[in-house]
Structure 1
Amino acid sequence: MPTAEFDLIRRCFTRPPVHGAGEVSVVSLVSLGIGDDCAVLQPTPGQQWCVSTDTLVAGVHFFEDVDAARLGHKALAVNLSDLAACGATPRAFFLALSLPRAMAAKEAWCQSLAHGLFALADAHGAVLAGGDTTRGPLSLTLTVMGEVPQGQALLRSGARVGDEVWISGDLGGAYLGLQSRREPGRFALGPLFQAAIDRLECPQPRVALGQALRGIAHSAIDLSDGLVADLGHVARASGQADGPLHFELDFDRLPAHPALALLDDVQRQQAILAGGDDYELAFTAPVGAHAAVLAAAQASGTPVHCVGRVRPAQPAEAAVIVVADGQALAPPTGGFVHF
């Protein structure tokens, strides 16, 4: 017999109250969580909520045979990455889970999904405060809520001419991991390919870095759809009051995942510029804040790289220009498109 909905929730997703990291108790924020028609939340005085929702659909955002614990991790990680881009501290999240009947009956699979979800939640002090379960095609929709001091949220719209452009971590690993999963016979197995698959399936949200950049960075975004595509969003959001602007990036300074050494130059360029799914942070900060950015990176234990600058845009000029050896590279093809 398939597991009943409330049985499934009780067995896999209901836990005793968990205290979050830091000085603020998650228990005090979530006055009432799972088990009623609504969760009751109590904001911390002087803080603003940052809220984000993402849906992951089998066959679109993940392979249907992916390990359940990894799926739970990634479903929350991509949402926490949005909070990281705003400099927010994770507090609570909600899960809407659609399961095929046969999968809902496999309690071990659901327990593994919950394990991956809660392991990452506990690492960042977030609590599952509610949600929904239903029968249908496999998909997970998560809404995350975080707090940021009043007026200190990092936004896409803050980039300014003269800013330096920074990237956390490295780029392109998830792209190679995706290709490895799509065409396993094309790529030799080995540690570098496994590291790329790990990057695809278990991204690490840069929450601590985002918090450390509050008051330093002018703008930020998490890299989900590809470097050029995502920085294009920042350029267009920021280039309003003082006219259009663009990002000029030095390709040789862009940090590449070690596994990209296994690709040819064309594939490597595609992976770095348009691969997507890396969930690193791209951000801009004034030149005078260069040392402060490095200090924030060290304090958060996150490597960062200064890779370019923000310039005024000329008419009809691309939002993002990538230069190598003094020459502009052809715009990359791709970048994730939802429709």
Structure 2
Amino acid sequence: MNRERELIELINKHMPRSSSQLNTIFESDSEILMFQGKGLVYNIDEFSETDLLREDDPYALGWNMAAGSISDILASGGRPKFYAHSMVVRDSWTMDFVEKLAQGIAGVLKEAGAAFIGGDFGISPTWRYTGSVIGDMNGQAMLRSGAKVRDGIYLTGPIGGGNVEAALKLYGQNLLVKQLTGPWKTFFPLRIKEAELIKRYSHCCIDTSDGVFNALGIISEMSGTGFAVSSLPYVKSGLLLAKVLNLPKEMLFLGECGEYELLFTLGEEVEDEFAREAGDKKLRFHKLGQVKEQGIKSLCQKDRTFDLSTYTLRARDYADPMDYLRNVADFLAKV
């Protein structure tokens, strides 16, 4: 068990719970509630410098933090309605920077149809941001559990966008990286239309805020299953960056700075119908692989298969992210 999970369980065992709450701890991306006969979902997410989001574009930074906060609501099958935040800005940020940051947040809320209802504000030598979202829940919520052996595993977009963002933060002073990637911008997706379709066919969904591998691991743990994936749809910028940095592309899959896509499972009996409706709606999804028996965690490439059942590295266990990246690369070289 990882330390973060141990601490969450330690704290939660002392907290009073409500009979109106429908989910258990870790069971869903959002907290699911019944309030006066109506379904609600609630989420709170924190961001800081440790999340390795670049700050050169304040609009993109604001967009990504708000999109990340709302993503959990979508992964639970809800629709965001009210949004609040606690914003602590760095004391060196200009008025223009803060205004563009706010415009990025507002851009997400407008696209999602959510209203801003207030929050808290502070100034500090280091920045922090916490987004808090309340959403409507119509019908049954989607959980992290419920995957069944032989289900298909799907993703709403390419793999690695968040890890590319982190790499550009970590390797930004590399002259070749700087020259090559100077104009690159990362905007996390807002998968509202996709989430509406997914909810009609699946009850098992999670966002990839901590990376695709971790998302698969959580679904497997909660469902008592495993997975086998192949032909992964890596983001093109990630493949190029991995080549420039001489790092294995599989780090885009294992890395924990996620792309905030939605990962979900579909029963064999509905896959064809889902694909037809997705095509009619011009929505694109990527099939990654299949749910397998418990204990199986494999990544199949054209030239080799990685057995990931013994992989236990976690970025949060390292004070220096570069040490973490070296250990991930070493694992991939030896497995």
Match of 1:14 in 2: none
Compared with structure 1, are the counterparts of its residues 309 and 92 closer, same or farther at alpha carbon in structure 2 (3 Å cutoff)? same
Report the secondary structure of 1:307's partner residue: strand
Alpha-carbon displacement from aligned partner over 1:277-303 (angstroms, at most 9, x marks no partner) = 211111101011112332453466432
Compared with structure 1, are the counterparts of its residues 171 and 145 closer, same or farther at alpha carbon in structure 2 (3 Å cutoff)? same
More displaced, 327-336 or 179-188?
A: 327-336
Give yes or no for contact 2:160–2:253 (8 Å, CA) kept in 1: yes
Report the secondary structure of 1:171's partner residue: coil
Residue type of the partner of 2:235?
H
Match of 2:329 in 1: none
Match of 1:233 in 2: 218
Match of 2:127 in 1: 138
More displaced, 328-337 or 72-81?
A: 328-337
Give yes or no for contact 1:56–1:75 (8 Å, CA) kept in 2: yes
Match of 1:88 in 2: 78
Shift of 1:209: 0.8
Question: Could you tell me how far apart the structure 2 residues matched to 1:198 and 1:59 are?
Answer: 19
Give yes or no for contact 1:276–1:336 (8 Å, CA) kept in 2: no
Question: Could you tell me how far apart the structure 1 residues matched to 2:135 and 2:105 are?
Answer: 17
Question: Could you tell me how far apart the structure 2 residues matched to 1:112 and 1:326 are?
Answer: 46
Question: Could you tell me how far apart the structure 2 residues matched to 1:190 and 1:288 are?
Answer: 49
Compared with structure 1, are the counterparts of its residues 46 and 61 closer, same or farther at alpha carbon in structure 2 (3 Å cutoff)? farther
Calculate the TM-score normalised by the size of structure 2: 0.74
The correspondence of residues 278-289 of structure 1 with structure 2, limited to 5 A, is 278-289=259-270
Shift of 1:323: 2.4
Give yes or no for contact 1:96–1:141 (8 Å, CA) kept in 2: yes
Shift of 1:188: 4.3
Match of 1:169 in 2: 157
The correspondence of residues 140-289 of structure 1 with structure 2, limited to 5 A, is 140-150=129-139, 152-184=140-172, 185-188=174-177, 193=181, 197-199=184-186, 202-239=187-224, 245-250=225-230, 252=231, 254-262=232-240, 263-264=242-243, 267-274=248-255, 276-289=257-270
Question: Could you tell me how far apart the structure 2 residues matched to 1:95 and 1:107 are?
Answer: 19
1:73 maps onto 2:58 in alignment: no
Give yes or no for contact 1:54–1:79 (8 Å, CA) kept in 2: yes
Residue type of the partner of 1:217?
S
Compared with structure 1, are the counterparts of its residues 57 and 189 closer, same or farther at alpha carbon in structure 2 (3 Å cutoff)? closer
Question: Could you tell me how far apart the structure 2 residues matched to 1:281 and 1:186 are?
Answer: 34
Shift of 1:312: 2.0
Shift of 1:177: 3.3
Consecutive aligned runs of 4 or more in structure 1 exceeding 4 Å deviation: 43-47, 188-191, 332-336
Give yes or no for contact 1:226–1:277 (8 Å, CA) kept in 2: yes
Shift of 1:108: 2.2
1:107 maps onto 2:95 in alignment: yes
More displaced, 275-284 or 86-95?
A: 275-284
Question: Could you tell me how far apart the structure 1 residues matched to 2:239 and 2:49 are?
Answer: 30
Compared with structure 1, are the counterparts of its residues 139 and 281 closer, same or farther at alpha carbon in structure 2 (3 Å cutoff)? same
- In the alignment, structure 2 segments of 5+ residues that lack a partner are 1-33, 319-335
Match of 1:49 in 2: 40
Question: Could you tell me how far apart the structure 1 residues matched to 2:285 and 2:152 are?
Answer: 12
Question: Could you tell me how far apart the structure 1 residues matched to 2:57 and 2:302 are?
Answer: 43
Question: Could you tell me how far apart the structure 2 residues matched to 1:101 and 1:74 are?
Answer: 21
Report the secondary structure of 1:272's partner residue: helix
Compared with structure 1, are the counterparts of its residues 237 and 115 closer, same or farther at alpha carbon in structure 2 (3 Å cutoff)? same
Shift of 1:139: 0.6
